[in-house]
Structure 1
């Protein structure tokens, strides 16, 4: 059985998380929320994500189980997929085409949904229009990691995600991007399925 959380953690990564925790107390977060918050902060070297991210622990618990049970993982762009190294992903941007009222990113989401159907985990870190398109589909996602970046449409699309009631990870500000979206997914991949004694390395 593939266990993504059983990995060799590089000493630089260990020291990076040690310094993160020395600067920022994350102990009040629930386990999966803490894992997501810490790994997103680590990916961007930006402690402000501790108050910018919006997570729901109950939704993360369900998504975590779905992910480790083999739920498909869909990304909006290949840069997000490149950051998810321990899981195959679906990205249909290469085949997508723009058209009247439809961006290429939005079309890629349509193509991906036709391929994977309901119950997937969607990781959007680049295009607000990709997130907007997902919200009009009857995708019944296990989780939407909606962290598109930009000054046009990003905050609005993430607010719409939160208002949709779908299980989600999002953030309030304009910032986001491929690296932090991939980091949020990796946090769930690297978190063990069953409770284990807490150590620095096990929570990286």
Structure 2
């Protein structure tokens, strides 16, 4: 994805790297960690995020091959740059034992089937519901926020063995979830090993 990087963004990443050495991370992990930190101005994400480079490589390939991107709420969709997303929250209802967010995940899965990238930044129940489905996701970005269920749903995601980006703490949110997906969107499909980090913003 070719895009023009604004000087303010370049300076923000320069300051981030001056305060935190991210060079120890492999390329896609570094891209995700840096963009999540940039979105929240929170350096703690460097140790709070949990992911694996192999998962990101596969998710990156699926994303650039055109795999669907499903989000739990419109706020996540609004933060994703230059890519259509599926969000079925407006169509969902709630009932005993099923939140609107969980129902929306069911509806989205019926629409996109297996192999999608799922970006969940708001509702722990959306992530919990995804884990009950045979969705065979290309990648799950599971970064819901909250004091009730958020940390637990992310722990369940890690325990599931699915390819994922998550974090240990209760923090998260739509902006950081979108940022993690954007990191994969912005990262070149054939990165130049001699390119400066700024060229891969």
TM-score above 0.5: yes
- When normalised by structure 2's length, the TM-score is 0.98
Listed as ranges, the matches of 1:59-98 within 5 Å are: 59-98=55-94
Alignment of 1:112 onto 2:76: no
Secondary structure of the structure 2 residue equivalent to 1:139: coil
Question: Aligned with 2:135: secondary structure?
Answer: coil
Whether 1:127 aligns to 2:133 is no
Q: 1:183 maps to which residue?
A: 179
Per-residue CA distance 1:46-90 (angstroms, 9 max, x = gap): 000000000100010011000000000000000000001210000
Q: Secondary structure at the match of 1:123?
A: strand
Specify the alignment match of 2:164 in structure 1: 168
Residue 199 of structure 2 is aligned with which of 191, 198, 202?
A: 202
**Alpha-carbon displacement from aligned partner over 1:98-120 (angstroms, at most 9, x marks no partner):** 01110000000000000000000
From 12, 17, 22, the counterpart of 1:21: 17
Runs of 4+ in 1 over 3 A off after TM superposition: none
TM-score normalized by the length of structure 1: 0.97
Deviation at 1:134, TM superposition (A): 0.1
Tell me if the contact between 1:80 and 1:178 (Cα under 8 Å) persists in the aligned partners: yes
**Secondary structure in structure 1 of the residue aligned to 2:148:** coil
Q: Does the 8 Å CA contact 1:80/1:182 hold for their aligned counterparts?
A: yes
| Residue 56 (structure 1) aligned with residue 52 (structure 2) | yes
> How many residue pairs align between the two structures?
200
**CA distance, structure 2, for counterparts of residue 199 and residue 27 of structure 1:** 12
Structure 2: how far apart are the matches of 1:203 and 1:172?
27
Deviation at 1:198? 2.2
Root mean square deviation of aligned Cα: 0.6
CA contact (8 A) 1:37 1:50 kept: yes
